[in-house]
Chains A and B, each alone.
Chain A
């Protein structure tokens, strides 16, 4: 079955540091890939997405590139802020036919210190 593997957290950074959160996946066909963010006390919200190989999703300074050859979708940000402290989830979905079960990684907690 499908699976998503994220790097273990927490990731602790100082403000303005560079962020990478690794995500790799196992899936048949051509899934769509997503990063969701969950701020403390809130529900998950979509951060960015990519629907085909080599697509780059970007939002709020975050970006991730759909790499089919390495089955990866790593999240990056050039300069993190304290307000980016949250839990980040990598996820995939199949956009066509058959049994449709979205799959999420277990999440990576990011803590940004001033």
Chain B
């Protein structure tokens, strides 16, 4: 397994445009998480999935943010009508839901978004 991958690695967009990021988790992991990380801060939880079910989305930053995981494999995070304040690194992570597991997460390299 090659680990968690994210695409694109960098995205520059103009304010008001929509952007979509993709995350491919480790294949045997059924949990998938999205985070935002700004400079000098730790990862800020946005949402997570168990298989295709989105179990927690109250932390999505606004209704402009949405995420999907239609077949329980890869996931997408979409930001509509981007604002300059959305500029950040968006991280994806996955973990196994195995019984007795400690839910340690494996992170992708992130997608850096710059909104101009």
Contact = CB atoms under 8 A, between A and B. Distances in A.
- A and B part of one assembly: yes
Interface of A: 4, 32, 34, 36, 42-46, 49, 51, 89, 91, 93, 95, 99-107
A107 B107 contact: no
Contacts, number: 60
A101 B59 contact: yes
5 contacts: A43-B108, A49-B104, A102-B103, A104-B42, A104-B43
A110 B11 CA distance: 29
Interface residues of B, number: 25
Contact of A43 (B33, B40, B42, B110): B110
| Main SS class of interface, A | strand
Given A43-B91, A44-B93, 10 more contacts: A4-B42, A44-B91, A44-B105, A44-B107, A45-B107, A49-B102, A91-B42, A95-B103, A102-B105, A104-B35
Interface of B: 4, 33, 35, 40-45, 48, 55-56, 59, 91, 93, 101-110
